[in-house]
Chain A
Amino acid sequence: MSPQLAAGDRLRRLLAMIPWLAERGSATFDEIGQRFGMTEAEIVRELELVAMCGLPPYTPDRLIEVLLHDDGVEARIPDYFRRPMRLTPAEGFAVLAAGRALLAVPGTESGGALDRALRKLEGALGDHGSVEIELDAPVHLAAVRQAAERRERIEIDYYSASRDEMTTRAVDPHQVLSLEGHWYVEAYCHRVEDRRLFRVDRIREVRPSGDIFTPGPVPDRPGPAFRSSPDTRAVTIRVPPDGTWVVETYPNEVLEEHDDGSRTVRFAVGGQAWLERLLLRLGPEAWVVEPEADRTAGADAARRILARYR
């Protein structure tokens, strides 16, 4: 049940609904409700209002003709409202970005039609090649998507970046989606007995099991919250002046800015490997303020890797 919309929002919705009705001639309340997200009561209210609209002198022949039936409406719309308003800049961008993103998904079914539609849209907007979307294409993407479509359990050899370890797990893939430019599979993991997000480009091998699983509930939409692993902890690091890119890239809290341009920053660390990577990249001028147990994390990792070079 939507709260009362402001007049501007209602107007915008009406300016879209009226031409939509004009194109169809008639629609059921169900159809209108599904398209515009309105209850029957809201629809009737708006249509009764529309019936009072038109051109001066607002005699019956000059009003928008709306015939309300038990389950729907018939409408005869005058010329000036038969075509929808142009796309606003936000809408134009939304359609182009969404369309180009879908085209970047490997194996998009409606690729040809979508490409043609986007070209027509770009032509009408006077806008060509303004937006390009690139998504990565991990080698096992097709196999994982197929398993998700079939609801087939798979065994994966998976590299956990935060722990820098390979594990083999049986997972029930529910959904495969691209988040912020990387492909993830949202799956029930039998090893931890919980739902997890796995990066598809960290899957070394996929082995179909032949077993079909019953899907659990679909989360609203996996997002950053969903991605936080259970073993995050806080580590405070002195970041040197040339390490500011770090502050941009990872969620953090700047506790203090120092005169020499360095900063004391607290991070939520997910796994030892994550901390090692951060410290190795920041270099010899960075150091762990606390906890004490992590003070040698960077040096230990560096020594370990040096063994490979000697």
Chain B
Amino acid sequence: MERVERLTNLVAVLLDTRVPLTITEILDRVPGYPAGEAARQAFERDKRVLREEGVPVETEAIEGQDQVGYRIPPDRYYLPDLDLSEDERIALHLALAGVHLEGGEGRGEALWKLGSAAPVDVTPLAALPALPELVALHDAHRRRATVTFGYKDSGRRRVDLHGLVFRDGFWYAIGHAHDRGEVRTFRVDRMVPPIEVGEPGSYEVPAGADPASVLPRQPWEIGAGEAVVAEVLVDAVLGPQVRAELGPAADVEERADGGLVLRLPVVHRPGFRSWVLGLLDHAEVVGPDDLREEIVAWLEQVAAAAGGAAS
């Protein structure tokens, strides 16, 4: 007999039973187990395979010689009835077909479970990176379990997650950081595995929490401190790119020649400087005066740097 036949029968027996079954009872009912002590070991291996494949085999303490019984609780096994209409099901299939999570798993099988729909022939519309940590973080958030992870340059952090946001090509985890006592954002690609997940139901997400709004829109908005409004001229050649980058909420004035005048709230000056200089000859910081002077001073230092100096 093939092992998968025994495994399938094992799932059937454990799903169908109303009461937990002992190993003895299981070995008695499910065909294909070897004789003697080898049978117990085979069952242990089968149980592990089932759990690896996401089948929730529960162990319960029971009366009697064996002391332990097994079953698969139906409410933990079955997909709840989603009550999806035909067009809703098709919409999910289209999403799964059209969006690639690069390096992620689970897409193929999710399609099977969501019910039948005519196979869709869709060219990929979007590809996102799918970091392995995301599944663990998402599941922890869902179960309200505190996570602990190493974070580059700042040691281990304990966080109650409020949400995950993908923006500008990066995944962010937002949540209440225990050590800081306030909501912080973390770049998921800067987390050092393993991610430890605590007990479910350990915290509540405050009503009205809006993780995406907590995420600073731009590098120059990061940090505490008063914002200064920087006025920046941008040449027309970079107009569309800068508009797309800043988003619709930014203070952008378009001039007749297609150039832009931006008014940006700057808290983090190095972040601002980095961005402006990335625009090379096509941007100029008009004001305020001290910010403009800072940019000029930086450029003068780079222009004067000897380079190649022995260290």
Contact = CB atoms under 8 A, between A and B. Distances in A.
Contacts of B223: none
A23 B116 contact: yes
A306 B96 contact: no
Contact of B135 (A89, A177, A204): A89
B83 to A, nearest CB: 6
Query: Most chain-A Cβ atoms within 10 A of its Cβ — which of B12, B83, B236, B243?
Result: B12
Contacts of B58: none
A80 B303 contact: no
Interface stretch (A51-59, A68-76, A188-196, A227-235): A51-59
A285 B307 CA distance: 8
A249 B30 CA distance: 55
The dominant DSSP class at the B interface is helix
Contact of A7 (B3, B30, B80): B3
Contact of A80 (B15, B169, B238, B274): B15
Contacts of B245: 136, 201
B304 interface: yes
Given A15-B11, A55-B13, A181-B167, A298 B302 contact: yes
B299 interface: yes
Given A85-B77, A178-B125, A280-B302, A98 B101 contact: yes
A95 B98 CA distance: 11
A56 B95 CA distance: 41
Contact of A85 (B55, B83, B84, B280): B55
B59 interface: no
A44 to B, nearest CB: 14
A284 interface: yes
B49 interface: yes
Interface stretch (B102-110, B176-184, B260-268): B102-110
B299 A139 contact: no
A202 B302 contact: no
A102 B101 contact: no
Interface string A82-121: 0111111111111111110110010000100110111011
Given A11-B4, A136-B244, A99 B95 contact: yes
Contacts of A24: 116
A301 B109 contact: no
Contact of A126 (B4, B142, B247, B306): B142
B157 interface: no
Contacts of B114: 95
A218 interface: yes
A12 B115 contact: no
Nearest to B3: A7
B96 A178 contact: no
A11 B49 contact: yes
B165 interface: yes
Query: Most chain-B Cβ atoms within 10 A of its Cβ — which of A58, A105, A130, A301?
Result: A130
18 contacts: A7-B3, A7-B49, A8-B53, A15-B8, A53-B5, A86-B54, A89-B135, A101-B166, A105-B125, A121-B82, A132-B164, A132-B211, A137-B248, A138-B243, A140-B240, A201-B240, A280-B277, A309-B299
Given A94-B106, A132-B212, 17 more contacts: A7-B2, A12-B109, A83-B78, A88-B106, A98-B99, A101-B99, A102-B126, A114-B91, A118-B92, A131-B164, A180-B169, A181-B166, A199-B241, A289-B308, A301-B280, A305-B281, A309-B292
Q: Which 5 A-B pairs give the minimum distances between C-beta atoms?
A: A181-B169, A90-B106, A201-B244, A287-B307, A117-B88
Interface of A: 7-8, 10-17, 19-20, 23-24, 34-37, 49-50, 52-56, 58, 78, 80-81, 83-99, 101-102, 105, 110, 113-114, 116-118, 120-121, 124-127, 129-140, 159, 164, 166, 175-182, 199, 201-204, 218, 221, 223, 238, 248, 258, 260, 262, 273, 276-277, 279-281, 283-285, 287-289, 295-296, 298-299, 301-306, 308-309
